[in-house]
């Protein structure tokens, strides 16, 4: 940094409010918040659905029942819902392109949210027609989101590594949609692929492809932003993305490659492990070198999620090598979805939601709000303890094949989800109130 | 990144930096300011993600005139 003197002072002209002009490239607060709110509600629904299907949960490997409903309340209702809300708000920051339309994200929310509810309930009560109707709405919502995101990515300037992650996630979404339609139509008697092939595509492309690539890509924005660290090395970000893309291609080939499935799956996992190792190296470096070292409970969840991401790959390898061990498939699903992805999303949401909400002015005032003033800490503390406890109980239920432990996990998880919903409701309520007068922080005080 | 002082305050030019580097540079500078001088920031675009961070440490931002294609902010401590 060079210090010196330069002629020509700035000419003050516009004494605007705190967020003067900033709102022009922001979506209205109601759009991301409706996605986050729906995610908080579906999170609660997921744990309740798990409780309803606790008897079959410890050895669950598919089929219409409440464990399948719980799984999709999480994947579609929480993970994809949050990813859509967050990426609609954050992708324009990375790509320097505004969202093409503000009406379309609102319309997508209505279609998608209704679709998720009908799909998951259809799975739970074993009604293929409900499932089919809901799947049509879900697919329509995801296609609308895909079109919006593709337009944004196509005009992107800068941050090529993150944009690459976005494209891989969108390509994966296409595979997820096709395989999901095939699976849904299996129950109606019109499958596109065999159930085994559709599942072999659906699981890796939904978890590691669509959700995983969004999680990895958005982490390259969010982690440096919250840690206040330099942006990750662009070349390494692209190498990680390339390895992940290779892993997904190999997993896709394994779904069709009868006779070669095991070596292809093993190769996919090796490439995926390389992508994950590079990703973790970059984000952990950002955390180590950032101005803000203490990121609180939310990033403790994020770090746990990263450990579970690695564990999910190890368990995936175990299922490839020992496909006949009944516990492994369920354990892999638990570590993958509620373990890695749900924990990561909930940890990030605790920071993103107050942060994005604070970018919008309180009604009738120019005073800014701070993320901390919008955050209710006690519900988050309850959620933190309950979420981790529920995960441990769920893993134990799978290991010892106990429906009682699964029921206990569901009960504790429900309590945690209710606390998380309370955190969100309090935030929305505080957004409607005028902010308290601020006092300046002394210059020596830490930023965090 | 350039940093200099003028009668209207401390200037910092973060144009050309990849996010979140502008935000990191600005917040680093604000932490070192120990008086009531304003800070004038020269940017490529409006730093939307900076505003919550500023609010959290008690600084305000207003847009002022800058060069064509530039977004210039005047940051002051307090409201």
Kindly report the average pLDDT of chain A as a whole number.
Answer: 87
Q: What CATH number is given for B2-77 in this structure? A: 3.30.110.40
What does the pLDDT average to over A188-198? 85
Q: What is the distance between the alpha carbons of residues A90 and A226, in angstroms, rounded to a whole number? A: 13
* Token pair 């196509």: residue: A154
Crossing angle between the packed helical segments A234-256 and A160-186, to the nearest 10 degrees: 20
The model's confidence at residue B68, banded by pLDDT at 50, 70 and 90, is confident
| A295: number of Cβ within 10 Å | 18
- Cα gap A308→A339, rounded to integer Å: 6
**C-beta atoms surrounding A151 within 10 Å:** 14
C-alpha A252, offset from chain centre: 22
Q: Which residues of B touch A438 (CB under 8 A)?
A: 55, 58, 78-79
**Predicted confidence band of residue A363 (pLDDT cuts 50, 70, 90):** low
pLDDT band (50, 70, 90) for residue A118: very high
Cβ-Cβ contacts under 8 Å for A124 (sequence gap 6 or more):
A49, A52, A53, A64, A65, A66, A68, A69
Quick one: pLDDT band at residue A364, thresholds 50, 70, 90?
low
Of residues A318 and A371, more confidence is placed in A318
Question: Do B37 and B9 touch, CB atoms closer than 8 A?
Answer: yes
* pLDDT over 90 at A187, yes or no: no
Q: How confident is the model over A24-71, as pLDDT tens digits? A: 456 788 888 999 999 999 999 999 999 999 998 888 877 889 999 999
- The vertex-A47 CA angle with A310 and A427, nearest 5°, equals 90
pLDDT grade for B53, boundaries at 50, 70 and 90: confident
The residue to which tokens 């605007």 are assigned: A16
Q: Summarize the confidence of residues A358-362 as an average pLDDT.
A: 75
Tell me if B8 and A441 make a contact (CB, 8 A cut-off): no
**Do A166 and A91 meet the contact criterion of CB atoms below 8 Å apart?**
yes
Comparing A280-289, A314-323, A428-437, B38-47, which segment has the lowest mean pLDDT? A428-437
In DSSP terms, B71 is beta-bridged to B43
Of A88-102, A104-118, A162-176, A279-293, the poorest mean pLDDT is in A88-102
Q: Which residue has the higher pLDDT, B12 or A191?
A: B12
Contact across the interface for A359 and B28, Cβ inside 8 Å: no
Q: Which of A41-55, A324-338, B55-69 has the lowest mean pLDDT?
A: B55-69
pLDDT > 90 in chain A, percent? 61
pLDDT value, residue A63: 82
Report residue A20's pLDDT band, with 50, 70 and 90 as the boundaries. Answer: very low
CB within 8 Å: A228 and B46: no
Euclidean distance between CA atoms A22 and B49, whole angstroms: 9
Q: Which residues contact A189 (CB under 8 A, 6 or more apart)?
A: none
Q: Enumerate residues 266 to 305 of chain A having a beta carbon within 8 A of any beta carbon in chain B.
A: 291
pLDDT of residue A347: 96
Name the least confident of A86-100, A144-158, A169-183.
A86-100
Distance from CA of A436 to the nearest CA of B (A): 12
| pLDDT score at A267 | 96
Report the pLDDT value the prediction gives residue A29, as an integer from 0 to 100: 82
CB pairs under 8 A between A and B: 150
DSSP label at B17? P
Which of A96, A357, A368, A373 should be substituted to probe chain B, the one whose Cβ sees the most B Cβ atoms within 10 Å?
Answer: A368
Interface of B with A in 2-61 (CB under 8 A): 2-8, 11, 18-21, 23-25, 27-28, 30-34, 40, 45-46, 48-49, 51-61
A209: phi then psi, degrees, rounded to nearest 5: -80, -70
CB within 8 Å of chain B, chain A residues 350-389 = 355, 358-359, 367-372
Q: What pLDDT shows up at residue A89? A: 80
The answer to whether residue A445 neighbours chain B at the CB level (below 8 Å) is yes
Q: How many CB atoms lie within 10 A of CB A231?
A: 22
CB contact under 8 A, B52 and A19: no
Which of A105-119, A288-302, A309-323, A375-389 has the weakest average pLDDT? A288-302
- Using only C-alpha atoms, what is the Rg of chain A? 22
> pLDDT at position A436, please?
64
**Span A219-276, pLDDT tens digits:** 998 898 889 888 899 999 999 999 999 999 999 999 998 788 899 999 999 999 999 9
Residues of chain B contacting A221 with CB distance shorter than 8 Å: 19-20
**How large is the average pLDDT for residues A85-95?**
77
State residue A362's pLDDT score: 65
List of chain B residues whose C-beta atoms are within 8 Å of the C-beta of residue A229? 20, 24
Name which of B19, B64, B66 is nearest A231 (Cβ-Cβ).
Answer: B19
Question: Per-residue pLDDT for A112 more than 90?
Answer: yes
Name the residue in chain B with its Cα closest to that of A15: B62
Interface test with A, best of B9, B53, B67 (most A CBs within 10 A): B53
For residue A16, name the pLDDT band (cuts at 50, 70, 90).
very low
B64 has a chain A CB within 8 A of its CB: yes
Give B3-25 pLDDT, tens digit per residue.
999 999 999 999 988 778 888 89
Of A21, A231, A358, the CB nearest to B20: A231
Terminal-to-terminal C-alpha distance of chain A: 23
Alpha-carbon distance B26 to nearest alpha carbon in chain A (angstroms): 10
Tokens linked to B49: 């993600």
- Does the global pTM surpass 0.90? no
Chain B residues near residue A444 by CB distance under 8 angstroms: 31, 34
Residues 92-121 of A with CB under 8 A from B: 93-94, 96
Q: Assess B68–A contact: CB distance below 8 Å, yes or no.
A: no
Chain B hits for A224, CB-CB cut-off 8 Å, are 20, 24
Please report the pLDDT score of residue A431 as a whole number.
86
Which residues of chain A neighbour B56 with C-beta distances below 8 Å?
A: 370-372, 441, 447
């Amino acid at each position: 940094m060079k210090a010196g003197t330069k002629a020509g002072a700035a000419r003050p002209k516009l004494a605007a409010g705190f967020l003067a002009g900033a709102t022009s490239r922001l979506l209205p607060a109601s759009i991301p918040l409706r996605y986050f709110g729906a995610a908080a509600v579906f999170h609660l629904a997921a744990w309740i659905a798990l409780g309803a299907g606790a008897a079959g949960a410890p050895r669950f490997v598919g089929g219409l029942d409440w464990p399948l409903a719980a799984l999709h309340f999480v994947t579609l209702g929480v993970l994809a819902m949050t990813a859509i809300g967050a990426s609609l708000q954050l992708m324009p920051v990375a790509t320097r392109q505004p969202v093409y339309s503000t009406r379309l994200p609102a319309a997508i929310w209505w279609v998608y949210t209704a679709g998720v509810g009908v799909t998951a309930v259809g799975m739970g009560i074993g009604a293929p027609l409900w499932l089919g109707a809901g799947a049509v709405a879900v697919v329509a919502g995801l296609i609308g989101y895909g079109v919006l995101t593709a337009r944004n990515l196509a005009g992107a300037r800068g941050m090529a590594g993150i944009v690459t992650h976005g494209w891989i996630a969108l390509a994966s979404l296409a595979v997820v949609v096709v395989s999901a339609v095939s699976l849904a139509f299996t129950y109606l008697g019109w499958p596109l692929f065999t159930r085994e092939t559709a599942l072999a595509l659906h699981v890796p492309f939904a978890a590691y492809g669509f959700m995983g690539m969004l999680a990895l890509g958005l982490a390259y924005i969010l982690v440096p932003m919250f840690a206040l660290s330099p942006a990750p090395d662009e070349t390494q970000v692209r190498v990680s993305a390339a390895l992940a893309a290779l892993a997904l291609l190999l997993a896709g080939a394994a779904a069709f490659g009868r006779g070669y499935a095991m070596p292809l799956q093993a190769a996919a996992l090796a490439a995926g492990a390389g992508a994950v190792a590079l990703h973790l190296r970059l984000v952990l470096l950002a955390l180590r070198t950032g101005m803000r070292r203490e990121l609180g409970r939310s990033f403790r969840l994020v770090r746990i999620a990263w450990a579970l991401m690695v564990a999910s790959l190890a368990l995936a390898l175990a299922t490839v090598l020992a496909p006949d061990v009944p516990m492994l498939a369920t354990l892999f699903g638990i570590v993958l979805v509620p373990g890695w992805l749900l924990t990561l999303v909930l940890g990030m949401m605790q920071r993103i939601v107050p942060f994005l909400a604070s970018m919008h002015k309180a009604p009738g005032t120019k005073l800014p709000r701070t993320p901390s003033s919008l955050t209710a800490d006690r519900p988050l503390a309850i959620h933190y303890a309950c979420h981790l406890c529920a995960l441990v109980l769920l893993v134990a239920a799978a290991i010892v094949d106990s429906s009682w432990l699964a029921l206990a996990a569901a009960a504790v998880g429900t309590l945690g989800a209710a606390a998380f919903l309370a955190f969100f409701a309090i935030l929305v309520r505080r957004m409607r109130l005028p902010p308290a007068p601020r006092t300046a922080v002394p210059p020596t005080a830490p930023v965090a | 990144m350039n940093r200099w002082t003028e009668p209207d305050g401390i200037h910092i030019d973060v144009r050309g930096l990849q996010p979140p580097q502008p935000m990191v540079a600005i917040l680093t500078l604000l932490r070192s300011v120990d008086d009531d001088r304003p800070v004038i920031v020269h940017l490529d675009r409006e730093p939307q993600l900076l505003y919550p961070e500023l609010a959290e440490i008690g600084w305000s931002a207003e847009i002022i005139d800058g060069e064509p294609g530039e977004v210039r902010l005047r940051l002051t401590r307090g409201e």
